[in-house]
Amino acid sequence: QLVDCYFQAYEHSLDGEERVALAQIIADTVHQRPRFEQRSIDFAETYRMERACLQTLHQLLVGVMDRQVAAMRDYARSVWRDGERGNTLDYGLPPRIVPTEPIALASTSSAATRPLSLLEVHPSLGLVWRVTHALRLACSELSPPPSPQRLPSGTERLRVEQRVLRAALATWAAAETPELDYGAAVHRELFGEGLLGDPWCVCELGSALVGAGETRHGGEETPGQRAERALSSWALLLDVLSLRHRIAESAHETALLARLYKGLVGRMGFEECHLYLRPVPFEFASHGDGAGEGPVFLTATLDADASLDRFIPSQLPLAISELDEAPVKRLSFHSLDSLMQVL
């Protein structure tokens, strides 16, 4: 069943590097054997642990692929809600899903994922190999480091792998959205996919941007200048879309790190208020006479932090608010007017 998951992702992948990586993972899975130890007499326990790891990984991959297929189906349905428009308007859009009798291309009685239509293709499923690659990196980082006196046993590595897989499956099943830590307003203005998630709306926005440029110049341009300005307008729109995606990714990672910090703040000797400390600009900082060299580590100042601002906001602020609160209100991608102002 695990090989069926990888093989189904291999069938949908269109990228050469993804197909090579998936083929390597399939070969590794087929040739994988239980890691028995000669000193251990309980071979059945090792076999059960290996089987549990394979089952957990299979459940995780099925959940990831099922959710991705459902998301791509919803996206394709929203794109083709008005049918084909013909000519070049349909160029670059995801392939239309033609509803037919669903089939399951699996070698076992249990399909890898939900049944798909015969002409249904989801190239993004090829990224499944990155899930396995990330899990392998996590297991290698968390395994006991080898030393000249003692090498980690296969059972210890199996336990680490089992714990990592269970934690990954529990995290995926929880389906938490770290973006909600920023509050409803920021989530709507920055992370919302209402306007930018629809390619037809993006096309209309680009056409409006080009039309505004033509109105501003009053038709006094040559055809070459008109084409160059239209290309610059679309390039500007693509830059804004890329920057918005980078901001959303950075905010997502910041929310995850903030959650990790709150869980480990007690062990590190800090307080939760240290997460929200803002740097003081040089023009507002007071000069201390005879100030010596500062401590190397921040933990050395924990005993003398009575003057710290211990304010803890109810919602996680964006990093740009450390400089000024005004840009946060202008950083809106929710409506057409706000997007035109950003452009």
The overall pTM is greater than 0.85: no
* Ramachandran bin of 99, using left for φ above 0, alpha for ψ from -120 to 50, beta for the remaining angles: beta
Judged against a pLDDT cut of 50, whether residue 149 lies above it is answered with: yes
Per-residue pLDDT at 103? 72
Per-residue pLDDT at 331? 74
Per-residue pLDDT at 291? 64
The values of phi and psi at residue 13, to 5°, are: -70, 140
In this prediction, residue 64 has a pLDDT band, given cuts at 50, 70 and 90, of very high
Rounded Cα distance between 77 and 97, Å, is 8
Question: What are the extents of the domains in the chain?
Answer: 1-175, 184-283+295-342
Judged against a pLDDT cut of 70, whether residue 111 lies above it is answered with: no
Rounded Cα distance between 335 and 343, Å, is 12
In this prediction, residue 297 has a pLDDT band, given cuts at 50, 70 and 90, of low
Q: List, for residues 150-199, the tens digit of each pLDDT value.
A: 766 777 888 899 999 999 999 898 877 777 788 777 777 777 777 777 77
Q: List, for residues 80-104, the tens digit of each pLDDT value.
A: 877 776 666 677 777 778 777 777 6
**Side-chain-facing half-sphere of 31: CA atoms under 13 Å:** 6
Residues contacting 14, CB < 8 A, separation 6+: 123, 126
Per-residue pLDDT at 109? 47
Per-residue pLDDT at 135? 95
pLDDT > 90: what percent of the chain?
A: 20
Q: Worst-scoring range by mean pLDDT, 19-33, 158-172, 216-230, 305-319?
A: 305-319
pLDDT > 70: what percent of the chain?
A: 80
Q: List, for residues 188-228, the tens digit of each pLDDT value.
A: 777 777 777 777 788 888 888 888 877 777 667 778 888 88
Per-residue pLDDT at 42? 74
Q: Worst-scoring range by mean pLDDT, 74-78, 236-240, 285-289?
A: 285-289
How many Cβ atoms sit within 10 Å of the Cβ of residue 220? 7
In this prediction, residue 282 has a pLDDT band, given cuts at 50, 70 and 90, of low
| Closest among 262, 84, 252, 50 to 161, alpha carbons compared | 50
Per-residue pLDDT at 110? 53
pLDDT (average), residues 282-309: 61
Gyration radius (Cα) of the chain, Å: 27
Per-residue pLDDT at 138? 94
Judged against a pLDDT cut of 80, whether residue 31 lies above it is answered with: yes
How many Cβ atoms sit within 10 Å of the Cβ of residue 326? 10
Q: Worst-scoring range by mean pLDDT, 152-161, 223-232, 254-263, 289-298?
A: 289-298
Q: Worst-scoring range by mean pLDDT, 1-5, 63-67, 71-75, 315-319?
A: 315-319
Per-residue pLDDT at 145? 78
Per-residue pLDDT at 112? 56
Q: Average pLDDT of the chain?
A: 80
